[in-house]
Structure 1
Amino acid sequence: MSVTDLPILGMLRTKMQWHQTRQKLLAENVANADTPGFKPRDLAAPRFGRAAEALSQPASALDGGGLARTSPGHIAVGGGDGPAADPRRFKGFEVRPSGNGVNLEEEMMKAGENQGDYALAASLYQKSLETLKIAIGKR
């Protein structure tokens, strides 16, 4: 088994490839912002299985110690479409008279977020390789 065959490195490579492909699609959406009848496209996020889902859960969700709404008078826990909803997750839909559905502001926000996420995955990949080099005594 090669060092680069480790599951964490494979997941990070997949994530970086996904971000590269998504960036191409977002750039295509922006390039076709004036094309009549063009519908914007996006990629679904990759799924890595149960182990990765457990890592993405907050600690309170894993141990069952999260906040609970025990009375209708209590403020609801964030999530959903309420006032505590994340505005970046809004799925607005705007179609111009030409039939084009590209919202430039939304596409540019997605592109910036995608770039930051790619940089994070690349940094994690690099740090993982450096850690492996230290562990095997090559550094």
Structure 2
Amino acid sequence: MNGIVEFADRVQGRLDRLDLSPDDLARLARLPAGFIHGMLDGNLPPPRGKRLITLAEVLSTSVSYLVGLDPDAPVPDEYLEEDQGSLGLLAGDEEALLRAYRRLDMSSRAALLQIVLKMTPEPDHDEKKPRQVKAR
């Protein structure tokens, strides 16, 4: 089993134990229902930062348990750091591309990078920028 499926199984187990539906979890955690369903279906990676902490609180469990660590072990910082997308630093399409990219193996990532670089060449730094005329 991979980490995404195991995480989803732990969340579903807590939902079952608390007799909550995924929609109840979305409402109580103030998260989009689509996010909860995508996470439980294994289509989205486990959340990080505030979303992860909120899920643990609503599910009456620890962050350590949800991410598959010993409940007495401290949670590594990487789980508590916010995703850039959740901070609003990326547009929705950029966030979707980044998530898809992260699911690729290394050779697919390298191939995709080559394609993107060919589609969007770097501007030549020696090119003169057009002179802007000041309005009088």
TM-score w.r.t. length of structure 1? 0.22
Structure showing greater relative contact order (alpha-carbon pairs closer than 8 Å, 6 or more residues apart): 1
TM-score (normalised: structure 2): 0.22
